[in-house]
A and B are shown apart, each in its own frame.
Chain A
């Protein structure tokens, strides 16, 4: 009898070990791929880094014919669209988070809402682009005509509105979680002192969760910076420096998407890759920063 049991134990042991090894291997591979992407970008952007140095970030001309590359207009376009999107979506995301994290924590309504908001994150970005093109652009054009601005319809503002909708689920899901985590005794103490619900939200919940909400916004910002397809369809794709929020522009991601397939010449390709590298680094920093805040919050 004993040998059979030990045999079985061995087999279980082997199973356990091989499963653990497989998991470790998968985890390592993911990290390796990430590092490999970074180095691929770095190595391929060397020609452009050498040729332009820091000038790459403050030069305004992007001229593939003359091989001169300055990413400032795209840098501005990326920052403008992302931050404007954040400004537009923040009031909504905080409101929705309070609604789902405080008022309707449980129940059918809350489940439906949660799922619908998560669904927003699952819609392919090209569909957002189409919707923007057919619904939002004509609306923006009407507004532009009222203000006597050239009625392009497409531009920084239109892309920001779409981005705001696209990043909403990212900030909502985190903010909702931290808001629902506010300890009950804190709230009860406030109520017992005669605070109204509004006062509890503004004086207890928001101050208590502000770093978590901020982290959610940072993650949303990270998404907005890198969003490509929908923005490409709506931003107007001009190389000129944006002159206002209604003017057409371009973002780093959309320039890469537009020009990479037919880019010939080492310097051209390299300049596009350098922009990709920059985007990668910025997105990484924002993500790491956001996660640090979340960690600190959960430790508290």
Chain B
């Protein structure tokens, strides 16, 4: 009997919890749907990419101190950010990869991309003696395709004559969760190799030919650190914070480039399209690191939708303008590549094109 009583009370409690949490959800989505009122109450709502989250939270915190406007940013992932913007439950979205033509076509109204900073993906490895390695695109692709299986393969030793490479099997470690990092990395491999482009191709999750999967940057770096002879890819920020070895890569101009914040920003020194939806991987820039990408903030081109007021639209745009200008000084400290001047100019043009009922906001 006692047991029954306990079960019953547990049931009641769990139902109560469910109700309160449902209630919480309901009210927060309610906040989102009329973001106009939240914005006028000095709060701007955004959601999306996890990768630039440390950068955004620092910049938004500074903005709150300077202007007294609170920004509520939820790092739920790029896919989620795009969905929330499409459902008009946030003031702005954020995504690592530019939205695809299909995603843009599915959106209820035109969306513009404003670059906020740059990120890079580095190749890290675990080898005895921690040698500094160089890779050409072909070698890198063949390792991840499983065609090169030993560290002392002639293809690797030929470009790394200075390093002593052991007769050790290569264990490939990749991300197991869907991620923008995988997207950028596979985008690069697809560009430099036709075989990779046909299969597995590029995407946030892939059908990997070889290797082990680990969850998140911390999972990949943890497994690489544990497994002798392993190779994996992680975000530059993560590698800088954890002092992990990073290979230098041969870029399109034929230069071997070390992964750094400078070489990341340098990758953006190319002819940029007006809508900024550009892939920087395998960049044309002579000093650019080849696996880089912009990360974007997303807003509707016409800000007068739903019950959105001009004031809240203006507040959102001023915030983004702040990220593109004053906010950039935080980028390098946190391990992100700041926007180079041409990219800032383009971002300004895009921000000026955003309107409220045909009236420009900035």
CB 8 Å contact bits of A50-69 with B (1 = contact, 0 = none)? 00000000000111111000
Comparing B39-47, B200-208, B307-315, B330-338, the segment that makes contact with chain A is B200-208
Contact of A61 among B80, B179, B207, B211 (CB under 8 A): B207
Given that A150-B169, A150-B171, A153-B226 are known contacts, is A237 also in contact with B204, CB under 8 Å in the complex?
A: no
| B126 to A: closest C-beta gap in Å | 12
For chain A, residues 19 to 33, give those with C-beta under 8 angstroms from any C-beta of chain B: 22-23, 26-27, 29-30, 33
For chain A, residues 246 to 298, give those with C-beta under 8 angstroms from any C-beta of chain B: 248, 250, 254, 257-264
Comparing B11-19, B151-159, B269-277, B295-303, the segment that makes contact with chain A is B11-19
Give complex CA distance A232, B216 in Å. Answer: 11
Interface assignment of A239: CB less than 8 Å from any CB of chain B: yes
Most B-side CB within 10 Å, residue of A61, A137, A236, A250: A236
Q: Is the CB of B205 within 8 A of A262?
A: yes
Q: Which residues of B have CB within 8 Å of A264?
A: 79, 82, 103, 204
Given that A22-B12, A263-B79 are known contacts, is A258 also in contact with B177, CB under 8 Å in the complex?
A: yes
| A256 to B: closest C-beta gap in Å | 11
Q: Is the CB of A64 within 8 A of B207?
A: yes
Interface assignment of B176: CB less than 8 Å from any CB of chain A: yes
Interface assignment of A76: CB less than 8 Å from any CB of chain B: no
Give complex CA distance A257, B222 in Å. Answer: 19
Give complex CA distance A195, B200 in Å. Answer: 66
Q: Which residues of A have CB within 8 Å of B201?
A: 65-66
Give complex CA distance A152, B226 in Å. Answer: 9
Q: Which residues of A have CB within 8 Å of B103?
A: 264
Q: Which residues of A have CB within 8 Å of B8?
A: 23
Give complex CA distance A136, B212 in Å. Answer: 17
Give complex CA distance A209, B205 in Å. Answer: 48
| B177 to A: closest C-beta gap in Å | 4
Contact of A258 among B199, B206, B212, B215 (CB under 8 A): B215
Give complex CA distance A264, B204 in Å. Answer: 9
Q: Is the CB of B204 within 8 A of A236?
A: no
CB 8 Å contact bits of B143-185 with A (1 = contact, 0 = none)? 0000000000000000000000000010100001111100000
Interface assignment of B78: CB less than 8 Å from any CB of chain A: yes
Which size bracket describes the interface of A in this complex? 35 or more
Give complex CA distance A236, B175 in Å. Answer: 10
Most B-side CB within 10 Å, residue of A150, A152, A260: A152
Q: Is the CB of A258 within 8 A of B12?
A: no
Q: Is the CB of B204 within 8 A of A64?
A: yes
For B223, the closest partner residue in chain A by CB is: A154
Give complex CA distance A151, B169 in Å. Answer: 10
For chain B, residues 80 to 107, give those with C-beta under 8 angstroms from any C-beta of chain A: 80, 82, 103
Q: Is the CB of B205 within 8 A of A259?
A: yes
Give complex CA distance A250, B82 in Å. Answer: 28
Q: Which residues of B have CB within 8 Å of A237?
A: 176, 212-215
CB 8 Å contact bits of B215-254 with A (1 = contact, 0 = none)? 1000100110011100000000000000000000000000
| A9 to B: closest C-beta gap in Å | 25
Q: Is the CB of A33 within 8 A of B178?
A: no
Q: Is the CB of A64 within 8 A of B205?
A: yes
For chain A, residues 53 to 106, give those with C-beta under 8 angstroms from any C-beta of chain B: 61-66
Q: Which residues of A have CB within 8 Å of B290?
A: none
For A265, the closest partner residue in chain B by CB is: B102
Contact of A259 among B78, B177, B228 (CB under 8 A): B177
Q: Which residues of B have CB within 8 Å of A238?
A: 208, 211-213
For A28, the closest partner residue in chain B by CB is: B15
Q: Is the CB of A137 within 8 A of B226?
A: yes
Q: Is the CB of A154 within 8 A of B212?
A: yes
Q: Which residues of B have CB within 8 Å of A22?
A: 12
Interface assignment of B52: CB less than 8 Å from any CB of chain A: no
Q: Is the CB of B227 within 8 A of A152?
A: yes
Interface assignment of B327: CB less than 8 Å from any CB of chain A: no
CB 8 Å contact bits of A94-137 with B (1 = contact, 0 = none)? 00000000000000000000000000000000000000010001
Q: Is the CB of A233 within 8 A of B208?
A: no
Interface assignment of B77: CB less than 8 Å from any CB of chain A: yes
| B20 to A: closest C-beta gap in Å | 13
Q: Which residues of A have CB within 8 Å of B177?
A: 257-259, 261-262
Q: Is the CB of A258 within 8 A of B213?
A: yes
Interface assignment of A138: CB less than 8 Å from any CB of chain B: yes
Give complex CA distance A262, B227 in Å. Answer: 27
For B83, the closest partner residue in chain A by CB is: A264
Q: Is the CB of A232 within 8 A of B79?
A: no
Most B-side CB within 10 Å, residue of A29, A233, A237: A237
Most A-side CB within 10 Å, residue of B14, B178, B201: B178
Given that A22-B12, A248-B212, A262-B78 are known contacts, is A239 also in contact with B207, CB under 8 Å in the complex?
A: yes
Q: Which residues of B have CB within 8 Å of A151?
A: 227-228
| B66 to A: closest C-beta gap in Å | 33
| A291 to B: closest C-beta gap in Å | 14
| A33 to B: closest C-beta gap in Å | 7
| A239 to B: closest C-beta gap in Å | 5
Task: Given contacts A30-B11, A258-B176, list 19 more A-B pairs with CB under 8 A.
Answer: A22-B12, A23-B8, A23-B12, A30-B14, A64-B203, A65-B202, A151-B227, A152-B227, A153-B226, A154-B212, A237-B176, A250-B176, A257-B177, A258-B215, A261-B77, A262-B78, A262-B79, A262-B178, A262-B180
Show 6 residue pairs from A and B whose CB-CB distance is below 8 angstroms, ordered by the A residue.
A64-B205, A151-B228, A258-B178, A260-B178, A262-B178, A262-B205
Residues in chain A within 8 A of chain B (CB atoms): 22-23, 26-27, 29-30, 33, 61-66, 133, 137-138, 150-154, 232-233, 236-239, 248, 250, 254, 257-264
What are the 8 tightest A-B residue pairs by CB atom distance, in nearest-first order? A237-B213, A262-B178, A237-B176, A63-B207, A65-B201, A65-B203, A236-B212, A258-B177
